[in-house]
């Protein structure tokens, strides 16, 4: 059998340092120069442009591996409930829309960027989620009329739920991304927004340890397991 080539083979830095840099930049609301300064305090001398290059190169690879492992486990869930919502993002002064699907436990299933939020955009977004994650029991949305129109075409309108506070799960999932958006001084292209939103969602899922629901010892065990799994990505 042919052994897969390591994606780190052309880089002089160790894979551990690269994973640390990517995790710090995407997981926390830090700028490129913030990451550079924090690493220098730890004895790692890097340029902020190196941080940019590494997250662009390795961020999607790490996110794809995390997503692959989690999707295979989540397809067997029963009584699955999705929360769908959209948020606006300004790109060079123009309004764009980031659609987001979140499950009943706060796991971000999909992030998708469109120019509009009409029926066709909602239909593309929902087809994308259903193709990756399979069948769902209930879908919670807000009052946007694009959702029932798209769900009517998909034949699952009877699964829709609508309520004043039912979609808070999706609304709250926007907050970490908003913090990252401010740290990055917004986006300049739809392509870069789509790329970062997808990578950020997968890494946020990986380190979502539900700190407020468990005791300290359980949280420490989960944090250690998440870090160990992160260090073994693309090993």
Claim to verify: residue 136 and residue 45 sit in the same structural domain: no
Residue with tokens 């160990």: 228
Q: Which domain holds residue 166?
A: 81-199
Q: Does residue 2 belong to any structural domain of this protein?
A: no
* Residue 76: predicted pLDDT: 62
Claim to verify: residue 124 and residue 156 sit in the same structural domain: yes
Claim to verify: residue 70 and residue 97 sit in the same structural domain: no
* Residue 164: predicted pLDDT: 75
Claim to verify: residue 38 and residue 104 sit in the same structural domain: no
Task: Supply the pTM of this predicted model.
Answer: 0.87
Q: Does residue 231 belong to any structural domain of this protein?
A: no
Q: Do the beta carbons of residue 218 and residue 38 sit within 8 Å?
A: no
Claim to verify: residue 70 and residue 96 sit in the same structural domain: no
Q: Do the beta carbons of residue 121 and residue 114 sit within 8 Å?
A: yes
Claim to verify: residue 157 and residue 98 sit in the same structural domain: yes
Q: Does residue 133 belong to any structural domain of this protein?
A: yes
Q: Does residue 142 belong to any structural domain of this protein?
A: yes
* Residue 79: predicted pLDDT: 60
Spatial distance between the Cα atoms of 186 and 43, rounded to a whole number of angstroms:
30
* Residue 216: predicted pLDDT: 92
Claim to verify: residue 107 and residue 169 sit in the same structural domain: yes
| Residue 14 CB coordination number (10 Å) | 10
Q: Do the beta carbons of residue 124 and residue 114 sit within 8 Å?
A: yes
Claim to verify: residue 29 and residue 114 sit in the same structural domain: no
Q: Which of 74, 92, 124 is the last residue of a domain?
A: 74
Q: What is the CATH number of the domain that holds 90?
A: 3.30.420.10
* The dihedral formed by the CA atoms of 12, 18, 20 and 22, expressed in degrees to the nearest 10: 150
Claim to verify: residue 92 and residue 54 sit in the same structural domain: no
Q: Does residue 222 belong to any structural domain of this protein?
A: no
* The dihedral formed by the CA atoms of 127, 131, 135 and 136, expressed in degrees to the nearest 10: -50
Q: Which of 29, 54, 74 is the last residue of a domain?
A: 74
Provide the domain count of the chain. 2
Q: Does residue 127 belong to any structural domain of this protein?
A: yes
Q: How far is CA 85 from the centre of its chain?
A: 14
Residue-wise pLDDT tens for the chain (235 aa)?
555 678 888 888 899 999 999 999 999 999 999 999 999 999 999 999 999 999 999 999 999 999 888 877 766 666 688 999 999 999 988 999 999 999 888 889 999 999 999 999 999 999 999 998 888 889 999 999 999 999 999 999 999 999 778 888 889 889 999 998 888 888 889 999 999 999 999 999 999 888 888 899 999 999 999 999 999 888 7
Claim to verify: residue 89 and residue 69 sit in the same structural domain: no
Claim to verify: residue 125 and residue 180 sit in the same structural domain: yes
Claim to verify: residue 69 and residue 123 sit in the same structural domain: no
* Residue 226: predicted pLDDT: 93
Counting every residue written for the chain, the total comes to: 235
Q: Does residue 178 belong to any structural domain of this protein?
A: yes
């Amino acid at each position: 059998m042919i052994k897969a080539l390591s994606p780190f083979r052309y880089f002089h830095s160790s894979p551990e340092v690269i994973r640390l840099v990517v995790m710090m930049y995407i997981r926390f609301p830090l700028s490129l120069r913030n990451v550079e300064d924090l690493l220098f305090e730890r004895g790692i001398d890097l340029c902020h442009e190196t941080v940019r290059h590494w997250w662009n190169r390795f961020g999607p690879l790490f996110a794809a591996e995390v997503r692959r492992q989690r999707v295979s486990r989540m397809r067997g869930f029963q009584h699955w409930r999705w929360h769908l919502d959209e948020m606006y993002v300004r790109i060079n002064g123009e309004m764009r829309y980031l659609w987001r699907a979140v499950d009943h436990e706060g796991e971000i299933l999909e992030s998708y960027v469109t120019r509009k939020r009409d029926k066709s955009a909602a239909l593309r977004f929902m087809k994308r989620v259903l193709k990756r994650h399979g069948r769902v029991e209930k879908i919670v949305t807000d009052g946007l009329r694009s959702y029932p129109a798209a769900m009517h075409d998909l034949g699952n309108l009877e699964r829709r739920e609508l309520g004043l506070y039912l979609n808070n799960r999706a609304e709250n999932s926007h907050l970490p991304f908003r913090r990252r958006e401010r740290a990055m001084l917004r986006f300049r292209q739809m392509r870069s927004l789509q790329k970062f939103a997808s990578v950020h969602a997968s890494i946020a899922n990986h380190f979502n340890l539900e700190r407020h629901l468990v005791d300290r010892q359980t949280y420490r065990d989960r944090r250690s397991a998440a870090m160990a799994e992160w260090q073994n990505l693309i090993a």
